[in-house]
Amino acid sequence: MAQPFLKRLKGNARGCLLFEPLFLIPYSMFSTYATIYMFQMGVSETAIGWITSIGLIVQVFSSFISGYLTDRMGRKAALLYFDLLSWSVATLLWAMSQNIWFFVVAAIVNGFQRVPHTAFYCLLVEDTPPKERTYVFTILQFIGVVGGLFAPLGGLLVYHYSLIPGVRMLFIIACVCMTLQFIGRHYYTHETDMGIRKMRETRGMSVKAGLGEYVHVIRSMLGNSPLLIVFSVYILFNFQMTMKNTYLSLYMVDYLRIGDGFISIFPAISSIMMLLVMWLLLPRVEESHVNRAMIWGFVISLLSNILLVIALPGELFWLSVSIILAAVGTIMTLPYLEAAVANAIDDEHRANVFAILSVLILIFITPSGIIGGWAYKLDPRIPFVFVALAFLASMLLMMVYQRKMRL
């Protein structure tokens, strides 16, 4: 896959994705242990939920201003400065954490990640032809999958140094690697034509006028029912991902009684399955069957979470099957869903529409931390029942979307 990767990727897509492993590899190593790290540092399950929600509230704010800042500063500048703030500084804070207040401050700082998220999205797709965007997002997913193969290295550090010192080391490694990525990508990419134009247009524009453009964008969005359906599915996907990422590791250790050092094996298993599906299945999916593939992906993801709920403590077989099905379901949905969202937004209003989408996502998922913490306290399986329901709703919405697109 390396040869087609280098040959087919051009311009900013190439520059963005070449440096992406420096983010995704360390992220996969520490994300498995982030919740357990907080728990071991004396933060309760409910407090973890509150910290997650505080971070999401900040993300709502940063999402709202991200379209304006991306247009005003330019894609590259907004990406560099806010990545350094929300990730380099945040990982350093996590590494130094001594009590709950360090985690609260880190969550607030990390909450500004939505500005570079919007800027990265614009930089990645604006100079990329629409027909190439599915390929770009598939490569992005591929890099994330390969990054998951490095998760066991994090497990080795945790096993060797014990959990808290080991996770501190993972955060320091992430800080160094991510900072190198942000700087390298900045010098390897160029400002997009749309980015240059938007910088000129917003140069003399007041903040109030710049943010006022959202009203026009929202009106146009409300009149586009297929776009609203795709956005709804994207929102549900982000809801379940937030809920699962927050509580899955804790669920495996606390409820299913899996060892701390052992749980890092599961991201590697997941990554291997994703690579197999990308190699054997995705090339066979024709463009006209993409929506059908997404529906089947949601069905498989639904089954995965049902198995996760019924798995018994100490029982590895059904947990392993659940992890494998989750990997297959994710790779059958996420690249196509990302491309569908990208192609549904026109370049002229991309930053603002994506900012609004991010705000909508966060409005719906911000309560997930509090709800998840409360639900986990009642019964550790309940958060994953919510995840299963999100996949069921996504499957039904995609069926409606497919029917509308045929009309």
pLDDT digits (tens, 9 = 90+) for 232-259: 998 899 888 888 877 888 888 888 888 7
Task: Give the least confident one: 244-248, 321-325, 344-348.
Answer: 344-348
Judge whether 341 and 133 are in contact, CB under 8 Å.
no
What is the predicted pLDDT for the residue at 407? 56
Specify if 4 maps to a domain. Answer: no
- Kindly state the greatest CA–CA separation across the chain: 63
**What is the total count of domains within the chain?**
1
**What's 320's domain CATH number?**
1.20.1250.20
Q: Using CA atoms, how far apart are residues 54 and 388, in angstroms rounded to an integer?
A: 25
Specify if 6 maps to a domain. Answer: no
Which of residues 89 and 377 earns the better pLDDT score?
Answer: 89
DSSP state for residue 311 in the 8-state scheme: P
Specify if 26 maps to a domain. Answer: yes
Specify if 186 maps to a domain. Answer: yes
Mean residue pLDDT of the chain comes to 85
What is the predicted pLDDT for the residue at 2? 45
What is the predicted pLDDT for the residue at 185? 95
Q: Where are the alpha helices (DSSP H) in 84-189?
A: 90-96, 100-110, 114-125, 130-148, 151-161, 163-188
- Reading the block at residue 279, the tokens are 């190699």
Specify if 5 maps to a domain. Answer: no
Q: Using CA atoms, how far apart are residues 407 and 405, in angstroms rounded to an integer?
A: 6
Span 108-132, pLDDT tens digits: 999 999 999 999 989 998 888 877 8
Q: Using CA atoms, how far apart are residues 241 and 145, in angstroms rounded to an integer?
A: 15
For residue 93, give its domain range. Answer: 11-406
Judge whether 91 and 173 are in contact, CB under 8 Å.
no
Provide mean pLDDT across the span 141-146: 81
Specify if 382 maps to a domain. Answer: yes
- The answer to whether residue 325 scores a pLDDT higher than 90 is yes
Span 38-73, pLDDT tens digits: 988 988 878 888 898 899 889 889 988 888 899 899
Q: Count other C-beta atoms under 10 Å from residue 99's C-beta.
A: 10
Specify if 192 maps to a domain. Answer: yes
What is the predicted pLDDT for the residue at 1? 45
Q: Exposed (0-12), middle (13-18) or buried (19+): which is 111, by Cβ within 10 Å?
A: buried
Specify if 344 maps to a domain. Answer: yes
